[in-house]
């Protein structure tokens, strides 16, 4: 039987990694203890009770059933702009903020504005797999910027400039990084911004995990203090981690000038409007849950500290990077490569993690463990599961 043609761009896009890893874990028989699922970056604690109450109330109201503004409700845009202004020590207006149906969609829309099919975007490697998938399915090529464990997986602007081709229209940075957890120094981020300005490129900066930065890393950069920041910067943010509501899919883009004029077309086409109920609840939560968010930052810091302590008991494994929600482990010498090792750990040891090749080229000797969604007791078990 003959079937209609399927887009070759979709055929060229990799399969979703997390279901693959969870399929390996489905074969686990429990012999080593309860399964420890470190595949997906989700908060390992529930939303605040009042947040749940406000979500329920908003969802049951008539206003949430109707269309909203294309770029998000004004109240949430104002609240986020004020929060960002305080965090970055710079004036950011609500007119420069758009609310999106999650940060993955924010990235896809930003990439659509920045580059056309046949053009390219530079991603530091290892990269967040959904970024690469979004580029591929839109016909945008990926230029890999290799990051080394010896450098703490912090990308080098000089290496980036040497790898630029005429097709590259944007450079992407993710800090704190997914998958490595690396936190990029302010000077490095500033150098990338200068590079993009000099070469006429967009800098797409994804700070999904900025609310989990150590206090000494806040603010993480000073880009917003430049009066002309909107000429080069497209900033992405996610509410999923900070407010424990990933299922409600709410993110944001901060941009200005030429980007915003074209972004409105993409917003209207890809989402029409973000979900209304979580916007209502988040408008209250940005200020109302400020102390709660700080407490969660401390919880995550405690889990990172516990993972660092557990790593002292690893046999042959090396902790190459640690930060935010993630640990990036180098496999022992002589062990099978990452995909085979990850499948074995999930199916026979009950430890589900993602192998490095899911995050791009040159990652065959690494695993990513997302420790944020398990408690300290489970983290303490990781060494014996890796044995």
- Tell me: the pLDDT tens digits for 159-193? 999 999 999 999 999 999 999 999 999 999 999 99
The predicted-structure confidence for 181-227, as pLDDT tens digits, reads as follows: 999 999 999 999 999 999 999 999 999 999 999 988 899 999 999 99
Q: Residues of CATH 3.90.1150.10 domain(s) within the chain?
A: 8-46+292-386
Q: Residues of CATH 3.40.640.10 domain(s) within the chain?
A: 49-288
Inform me whether the pLDDT recorded for 1 exceeds 70. no
Inform me whether the pLDDT recorded for 2 exceeds 90. no
Inform me whether the pLDDT recorded for 248 exceeds 90. yes
Pairwise CA distance, residues 203 & 189, whole Å: 10
What is the DSSP code string of 71-99?
T--HHHHHHHHHHHHHHHTS---GGGEEE
Give rounded-to-5 percent helix, strand, coil for the chain: 50, 15, 35
The predicted-structure confidence for 254-292, as pLDDT tens digits, reads as follows: 999 889 999 999 999 999 999 999 999 999 999 999 999
Inform me whether the pLDDT recorded for 367 exceeds 70. yes
**Which residues does 273 contact at the CB level (< 8 Å), separation at least 6?**
67, 68, 69, 70, 72
Q: What is the DSSP letter of 47?
A: P
Q: Alpha helices of 235-374 — where are they, by DSSP H?
A: 240-243, 257-270, 276-288, 290-310, 338-348
Query: Which residue spans within 77-197 are E strands per DSSP?
Result: 97-100, 120-125, 141-146, 168-174
Inform me whether the pLDDT recorded for 231 exceeds 70. yes
Pairwise CA distance, residues 164 & 167, whole Å: 8
The pTM for the full model equals: 0.96
Q: What is the CATH code of the structural domain delimited by 49-288?
A: 3.40.640.10
Pick the closest to residue 70 from 228, 262, 242 (CA basis).
262
Inform me whether the pLDDT recorded for 315 exceeds 80. yes
Please give the CATH architecture assigned to the domain spanning 8-46+292-386: Alpha-Beta Complex (3.90)
Kindly report the number of other CB atoms within 10 A of residue 32's CB atom: 17
Inform me whether the pLDDT recorded for 353 exceeds 80. yes
Pairwise CA distance, residues 356 & 362, whole Å: 8
Encoded tokens for 218: 């806040």
**Which residues does 153 contact at the CB level (< 8 Å), separation at least 6?**
124, 126, 147, 177, 180, 182, 320, 321, 328
End-to-end CA, the chain = 50
Encoded tokens for 274: 């973000």
pLDDT at 257: 84
The values of phi and psi at residue 264, to 5°, are: -60, -35
The predicted-structure confidence for 61-72, as pLDDT tens digits, reads as follows: 999 999 999 999
The predicted-structure confidence for 123-159, as pLDDT tens digits, reads as follows: 999 999 999 999 999 999 999 999 999 999 999 999 9
Pairwise CA distance, residues 58 & 52, whole Å: 10
The residue count for the chain: 387
Q: What is the mean pLDDT of residues 225-250?
A: 96
pLDDT at 106: 98
Grouping H, G, I as helix, E, B as strand and the rest as coil, residue 327 is strand
Pick the closest to residue 196 from 166, 227, 169 (CA basis).
169
């Amino acid at each position: 039987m003959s079937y209609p043609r399927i887009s070759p761009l979709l055929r060229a896009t990799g399969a979703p990694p997390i279901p693959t890893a969870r399929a390996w874990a489905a074969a686990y028989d429990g012999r080593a203890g309860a399964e420890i699922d470190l595949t997906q970056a989700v908060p390992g604690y529930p939303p605040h009770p009042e947040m749940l109450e406000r979500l329920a109330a908003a969802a049951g109201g008539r206003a949430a059933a109707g269309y909203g503004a294309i770029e998000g409700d004004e109240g949430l845009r104002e609240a986020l702009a004020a929060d960002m202004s305080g965090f970055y020590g710079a004036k950011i207006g609500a007119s420069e903020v758009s609310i999106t149906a999650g940060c993955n969609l924010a990235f896809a829309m930003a990439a659509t504005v920045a580059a056309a099919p046949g053009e390219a975007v530079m991603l530091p490697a290892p990269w967040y797999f959904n970024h690469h998938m979004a580029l591929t399915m839109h016909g945008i090529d990926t230029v890999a910027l290799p990051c080394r464990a010896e450098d703490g997986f912090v990308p080098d602007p000089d290496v980036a400039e040497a790898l630029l081709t005429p097709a590259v229209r944007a450079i992407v940075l993710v800090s704190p990084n997914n998958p490595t957890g690396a936190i990029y120094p302010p000077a490095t981020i500033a150098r990338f911004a200068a590079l993009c300005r000099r070469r006429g490129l967009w800098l797409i900066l994804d700070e999904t995990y900025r609310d989990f930065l150590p206090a000494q890393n806040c603010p993480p950069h000073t880009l917003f203090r430049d009066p002309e920041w909107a000429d080069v910067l497209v900033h992405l943010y996610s509410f999923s981690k900070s407010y424990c509501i990933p299922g409600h899919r709410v993110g944001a883009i901060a941009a200005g000038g030429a980007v915003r004029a074209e972004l409105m077309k993409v917003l209207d086409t890809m989402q029409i409007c973000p979900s209304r109920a979580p916007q209502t609840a988040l408008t209250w939560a940005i200020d109302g849950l400020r102390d709660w968010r700080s407490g969660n930052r401390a919880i995550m810091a405690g889990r990172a500290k516990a993972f660092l302590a557990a790593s002292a008991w690893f046999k042959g494994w090396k902790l190459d990077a640690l930060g935010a929600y993630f640990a990036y482990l180098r496999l022992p010498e002589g062990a099978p490569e990452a995909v085979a090792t990850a499948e074995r750990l999930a199916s026979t040891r009950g430890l589900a993690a993602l192998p490095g090749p899911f995050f791009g080229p040159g990652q065959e000797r690494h695993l990513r463990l997302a420790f944020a969604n398990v408690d300290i007791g489970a983290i303490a078990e990781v060494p014996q599961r890796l044995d």
